[in-house]
Amino acid sequence: MDYLRAHGIYVPGQMTVTGFDGVPEALSRGLTTVAQPSLHKGHRAGELLLKPPRSGLPVIEVLDTELVRGRTAGPPA
């Protein structure tokens, strides 16, 4: 966002900036982000490493996410 500001691009007026991991440092700066259940994701990854599926096939899981609207997203166009 500092780069955009330095080049005269206004957030969110001219551009929306969105993160994807919900890290507290970015949230404190007002970044709109998609928060993911990081603790659950890490726990589940550990389970799969320690006890892989017997089929040997990849495991696909969909986790809940949440849009956390900050100051970097304008109204929908």
Collapsing DSSP states into helix, strand and coil, what is residue 66?
A: strand
For residue 56, what are its two tokens?
A: 């040997």
Instruction: For residue 19, name the pLDDT band (cuts at 50, 70, 90).
Output: confident
> What was the pLDDT predicted at 48?
93
> What was the pLDDT predicted at 55?
93
Question: What is the per-residue DSSP string for 15-29?
Answer: ---EESS--HHHHHT
pTM: 0.65
Q: Whole-angstrom Cα distance, residue 66 to residue 42? A: 17
Across-strand partners of 33? 19, 68
